[in-house]
Amino acid sequence: MIPIAAGAIAPLVNFPNGCNPEALDDRYRTVSAAQIAGNAALKGILRVRFTKVKFAKVWAGEENTKWSEAFPELAAQGAPCEIPIVRVVRFDKSGTTFGLKDYLRTIEPGRGWTTTYEAGTGSTGNREWPNAQFGEGGQCVATAAPGKQADEVDFLTSACANGNGELVKKLIATDGSIGYSDIATARNTSSTLAVNAAGTEAPTSPYWTQVQNGTIAVGSPQEAEGKGFTEPTFDEVNGFKTTAATTPAQKGANCLAAGIFKGTPATTFGDWSLTSGVNASSGFGICTLTYAMVFDDNAAVFGNSPEQEAKARTLKDYEESIVSEVGQAKLFEGDYAPLPAPLLAIARAGVASIGWDKAGSSTDKPKPPVVVTPTPPAGGGIVPAPISNKFSLLRKTIAPKAGSAALSVKLPGAGKLDVLGTAKSGGKSIKAGHTVLTAGKAGTYSVTLKPTGAAKRLLAEKGSLKVALKLTFTPSGGTASSSNSSVTLKLTKANNR
């Protein structure tokens, strides 16, 4: 279970049409009345926001009869503000729903947000919500869904289709609704989506808004006064003011702060179900992790064949690219955030541990291939089967005392294995090591890559050296094949002279 990215779950609002949000009390708005009085252009970034207690009550369906019930200061406007607050929820079971309920749990521990309304069995999963019925006969007709009753009764509906994108579309179509989504989906569901729009008038079209994070205690004066609100995008000052089209550099999730994720195991083999990124004292209040679930050794699962090994190599290449510096840097572009440093170290160690046929032979061999007799060539004789040049690098072991590395390589038959190591020094490429192995038959062999003089000098200076490996196997009587890998050589201080 490898964490690969951090993301923010943004609360969404489709404020009632015709209801003026400028009437909201300052604690429930992103821009105060005094700020707007001094600069009318700030109306365009006015958003409604819910303090923790009010947020939990509305999501529980307890202050939803009218917007003017949840916010009495809107009552003077009459009918436009008297429509229900409708909760738009995921149709399917969802980690996004779990993240929202996990945040609500920190506000109302006794409500059962992550027990009663999270641990449903079978098709219900985490599709249950307080003060609402799950089942057939509602807006999804014969299909069982959240919000069986009419919206004006249970104040809850879904899109009858899977995914955050469908939730956002349903929210846009439902005046006076609230919802939730990762910010990437909220921003990009459609070209006309106004979730993050800026303008010169106080908006009522759908947008995302803010929540209070862990710096604010439930029931405290600071909570009631509307303190401690945080923005889901990484740019706390301008993130919710702009769109991807106008300012793409301001994309990214506000979930990078150290210590934002709690309950993390020590390795990727641990239990990540208890990991939580909500209500932290820094960053956004509802952060989650995105994971990759991969096998430690694909050969033991799918069988030890060249085709499966090639697939497994591609998978590991992909995972390596995600947790690399380049891969993590690209996450902001997708409205996610890089992993905090401690989590990134765990993820990289997990990816590095992925191997192929670690035990030396698979316990789940594939079925033998169908043998097809080749067509004899003109003039008689049988075409010989091609000589296999498929080999596997099973593991790499570092010897810090010598500054060398031992490579375990599985060869398909007799032939010659050439291992060349290169490294960078001052912008130039140097030979870091070279060794050749001659094999007399198929089997698993160990070859040692010893550092060259130039490599050993760099090791003595730095203590470690990343080496690019090129392995080339030429079977006897066949054609060569190559593969690339890398290893970081190390030299202990005792030998660092």
> What would the pLDDT profile of 103-112 be if each residue is shown by its tens digit?
999 999 999 9
Q: Over the stretch 457-489, which tens digit does the pLDDT of each residue have?
A: 999 988 999 999 999 999 988 888 998 999 999
Q: Looking at the structure, give the CATH architecture of the domain made up of residues 2-250.
A: 3-Layer(aba) Sandwich (3.40)
296, pLDDT greater than 60:
yes
Q: Over the stretch 387-399, which tens digit does the pLDDT of each residue have?
A: 888 888 888 988 9
How many angstroms separate the Cα of 421 from the Cα of each of 39, 371, 461, 475, 487? 63, 39, 19, 21, 9
- Closest of 231, 220, 246, 127 to residue 183, by C-alpha: 231
Q: How confident is the model at residue 237 (pLDDT cuts 50, 70, 90)?
A: low
Cα gap 363→91, rounded to integer Å: 41
Mean pLDDT of the chain, nearest integer: 87
341 CB neighbour count, 10 Å cutoff: 9
Q: Start-end ranges of CATH 3.40.190.10 in the chain? A: 2-250
pTM over 0.95, yes/no: no
191, pLDDT greater than 60:
no
29, pLDDT greater than 90:
yes
Topology of domain 392-495, per CATH?
Answer: Immunoglobulin-like (2.60.40)
Q: Over the stretch 83-110, which tens digit does the pLDDT of each residue have?
A: 999 999 999 999 999 999 999 999 999 9
pLDDT of residue 234: 82
Q: Bigger pLDDT: 243 or 437?
A: 437
Q: Find the mean pLDDT for residues 143-158.
A: 94
19-23, 94-98, 226-230, 387-391: least confident range: 387-391
Q: Find the mean pLDDT for residues 296-319.
A: 92
Q: Over the stretch 309-328, which tens digit does the pLDDT of each residue have?
A: 999 999 999 999 999 999 99
Q: Start-end ranges of CATH 2.60.40.10 in the chain? A: 392-495
Q: Over the stretch 120-130, which tens digit does the pLDDT of each residue have?
A: 655 677 899 99
